[in-house]
Amino acid sequence: VRNPLLVPDLRELIRAGESPALVDFFQGMHPARVGEILDDLGPGDGDAVVGLLPPRGRAEVMSYIGPEDQARLVEAMAPGDVAELLHFMAHDDRANLVRRLEPEFVEPILRKLAHAEREDIRRLASYEPGTAGAVMTTDYATLAPELTARDALDRLRREAPDRETIDTSYVVGPDHRLIGQVSLKRLILAPPMARVERIMEHEPAFARVDEDQEEVVHKIGRYDLIAIPVVDADDRLVGIVTHDDALDIQRRAQTEDLLAFGGVTTEPGADDAPYWQGSVTSVVRRRIKWLAMLFFAEGLTGSVLRHYQHVETRLPDLALFVPLLIGTGGNAGSQTVGTIIRALSLGEVHPRDAYRVLVREWLTALLLGLLLGALGFVYAMLIRRESAAFAAVIGLTILGICLWANTIGALVPLLARKFGIDPAVVSAPLITTLVDATGLVIYYSIAITLLLHR
């Protein structure tokens, strides 16, 4: 609860039916803030407040509350009120809302809207999730190239009250083809009789309607854009993606990387489900895939240990160090894979740098291995009271496993990127598992050489 002092007072006003006081309180408040208070009030009292807001204010608040809350509110409203709400809502948000509602519920409501508005909603709601189309809005200003700056300003002035923003206008030719863009600043500075086509920016950056959202965000970031125009296969302007959506998409995409790195799931779009949404069985279905796959890979450790069981019977203490050694290898590998995935995602490292990366990671592993190996030697001798030769096996194995773990941790994401796989699918569990079985081979080979073959 972000407003611990406010909420009880508001609840009291709601109970007492003090509608004018409530309307007054929310008047002129930023819709994001209203949304937070609604969240704090919870469904019951929150919905009562929404009922008191004027149509436009209610529509604005919808953009700042969760999808489930939107659906619940709308399903409790009269069809006419829903139609009015959709009319005032941001174009992209209302399309998303309609997409989530049952067709039997929403169709009669859409029929109450003007033809153009209904078509706009239907079209926006029809784009594939994850594409530019699914996140763009159709609320933008267009200008014809032959207009004068003065006429263009007059036109924008007339349209502005209905537009979210007029900071940038898109210049379209016949068939709504995108031919340029012009900022409001440029129009104001231009001589009044200058034609738009003379002052506009030609060849602005644009996105395709079926382009991946993350690619669109990348363009917005690369060119520092407030909005990027989106065109269809025939170069016709069909929408814009704005900077605030870019911030949102980026945030979702990067927490998606966290899921992949944790080995939860690498399915694109699996991230879209909020934590509480979906049944436990759907969560299990998502997680079991990686776990079962890693289980079988980890099964290899059983074969390795079985293969060396004759060594184990002669040196039973070897088994005591197995979790420590493969755990250290897994940790070193996780560090490397985290570092490399980040460097790949920031564009600091490319697959063609593989050799340089390996040299750097080997040097790092060499130093880390020597330090941790010395630690392991001391630990084995002083705390576990093993012989010096035995402790040397532990120290050398740590060095060997660190070198191997850093090799795997660096190579696997680089190879993934090289073969067009998102390096973020290379999870910490995957690297840990890969290092486990091979780490055991290193361990027993060193032990046999130093302790049995002397």
Which residues in the 287-326 window bind a copy of itself by CB under 8 A? Answer: 287-288, 290-292, 294-295, 298-299, 301-302, 305-306, 309, 312-313, 316, 319-324, 326
Written as one string, the DSSP assignment of 339-379 is HHHHHHHTTS--GGGHHHHHHHHHHHHHHHHHHHHHHHHHI
Nearer to a copy of itself, 293 or 415 (CB): 293
Min dist CB 375 to a copy of itself, Å, is 6
Q: What are the φ and ψ backbone dihedral angles of 227, each rounded to 5 degrees?
A: -155, 150
Binders of a copy of itself in range 230-289 (CB under 8 A): 243-244, 246-248, 250-252, 254-255, 257-259, 261-264, 271, 274-276, 280-281, 283-284, 287-288
Cβ atoms within 10 A of the Cβ of 334, count?
19
Strands 141-143 and 168-172: parallel
CA distance 314 to 316: 6
Under rule CB under 8 A, residue 65 binds a copy of itself: no
Binders of a copy of itself in range 76-135 (CB under 8 A): none
Binders of a copy of itself in range 404-423 (CB under 8 A): none
Nearer to a copy of itself, 296 or 419 (CB): 296
- Residue of the chain from 21, 76, 189, 452 that contacts a copy of itself (CB under 8 A): 189
Under rule CB under 8 A, residue 5 binds a copy of itself: no
Sheet holding 178-183, edge to edge: 141-143, 168-172, 178-183, 201-202
Written as one string, the DSSP assignment of 269-324 is TGGGS-TTSS-HHHHHHHHHHHHHHHHHHHHHHHHHHHHTHHHHHH-GGGGGGHHH
Min dist CB 103 to a copy of itself, Å, is 28
CA distance 381 to 391: 6
- Residue of the chain from 8, 20, 21, 32 that contacts a copy of itself (CB under 8 A): 32
Min dist CB 440 to a copy of itself, Å, is 7
CA distance 212 to 167: 25
Q: Is 278 left (phi over 0), alpha (psi -120 to 50) or beta?
A: left
Nearer to a copy of itself, 199 or 337 (CB): 337
Under rule CB under 8 A, residue 199 binds a copy of itself: no
Nearer to a copy of itself, 131 or 427 (CB): 427
Binders of a copy of itself in range 337-376 (CB under 8 A): 337-339, 341-343, 345-346, 348-349, 360, 363-364, 367-368, 371-372, 375-376
